[in-house]
């Protein structure tokens, strides 16, 4: 039931993206998200899509695994698009009925926003599929290291994130087992009745919470038994180092930023006749 959740799940393979430094991947994702929202035309947004496709191919992860990450938020994407169609103003009126007015600009913006969120979710899924939770948190801790100068507990925050990411697949498996056990007892999770579905979920939440608290207590006891202390300065078994692959990825990110900016400025020259229908202002 929850197998479509790919966040926090790692796909082990040997690829160019897997071997990248996690700090580079985090910075690349941040730059990619910024460029998605900076893009103001379908030309520049198409470039973001091409960059994402190249990244998926270089990561050598199944395209179906990346698409499953979108399946979990497809309702939010559709709901957001519909709201923008009905509430976004414009100059070219398409439909007018009672108090409902649908403009061409609203339809274009809704489609544009859908692609933005679609690429955003897929890019985040590529990051988690190609980076282990430990490496991801080490990279985040390294990037946030300057905050230690103002007494921010960066190591504690990274540890919390690492544990949270590590427990996501575990809790998903635990939820699936509980649901299977409830189905064997006659629970109906396939009903379309909202009230019956909520009533069927309640018996799942209680044992899931108890299991989560039990696992958290066991983890705390294990850390205490190993004399773990967050207050002491700790060393790392594996140190993060930049390689030639990271330089290529940084160059790739620079091309993305430059390409999006140039298409925003000079995209009008590509197809002046249809450009007004492909731009968001």
- Prediction pTM value: 0.78
Q: Check pLDDT > 80 for residue 72.
A: no
Q: What are the pLDDT digits (tens) for 111-151?
A: 888 888 889 888 988 888 898 888 888 888 888 888 888 88
Q: Where are the alpha helices (DSSP H) in the chain?
A: 22-38, 42-59, 63-71, 74-87, 104-130, 133-143, 154-184, 194-225, 244-266
Q: What are the pLDDT digits (tens) for 217-237?
A: 888 888 888 877 766 677 777
Under a CB-based contact definition with an 8 Å cutoff, are residues 45 and 36 in contact?
Answer: yes
Which tokens is 27 given? Answer: 């910075």
Q: What are the pLDDT digits (tens) for 236-267?
A: 777 788 888 888 888 888 888 888 888 877 77
Please name which of 133, 135, 137, 130 lies closest in space to residue 18, comparing C-alpha atoms. 130
DSSP 275: G
Collect all residues with Cβ–Cβ distance below 8 Å to 101 and sequence separation of at least 6. 93, 95
CA angle 142, 260, 122 (to 5 degrees): 60
């Amino acid at each position: 039931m929850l197998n479509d959740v790919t966040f926090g799940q790692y796909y082990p393979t040997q690829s160019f993206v897997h071997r990248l430094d996690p700090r580079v991947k985090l910075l690349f994702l941040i730059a990619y998200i910024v460029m998605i929202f900076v893009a103001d035309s379908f030309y520049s947004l198409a470039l973001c899509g091409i960059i994402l496709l190249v990244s998926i191919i270089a990561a050598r992860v199944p395209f179906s695994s990346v698409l499953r990450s979108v399946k979990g938020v497809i309702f939010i994407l559709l709901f957001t698009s519909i709201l923008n169609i009905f509430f976004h103003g414009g100059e070219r009126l398409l439909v007018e009925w009672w108090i409902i007015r649908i403009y061409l600009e609203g339809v274009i913006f809704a489609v544009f926003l859908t692609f933005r969120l679609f690429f955003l979710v897929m890019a985040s899924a590529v990051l988690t599929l190609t980076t282990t939770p430990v490496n991801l948190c080490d990279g985040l801790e390294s990037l946030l290291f300057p905050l230690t100068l103002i007494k921010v507990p960066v190591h504690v925050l990274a540890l919390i994130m690492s544990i949270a990411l590590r427990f996501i697949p575990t809790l998903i498996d635990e939820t699936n087992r509980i649901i299977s056990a409830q189905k064997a007892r006659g629970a109906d999770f396939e009903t379309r009745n909202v009230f019956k579905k909520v009533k069927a979920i309640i018996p799942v939440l209680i044992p899931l919470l108890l299991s989560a608290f039990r696992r958290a207590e066991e983890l705390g006891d294990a850390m205490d038994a190993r004399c773990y202390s967050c207050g002491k300065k700790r060393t790392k078994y594996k140190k993060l180092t930049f390689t030639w692959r990271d330089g290529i990825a940084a160059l790739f990110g620079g091309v993305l930023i430059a390409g999006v900016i140039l298409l925003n400025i000079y995209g009008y020259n590509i197809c002046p006749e249809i450009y007004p229908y492909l731009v968001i202002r």
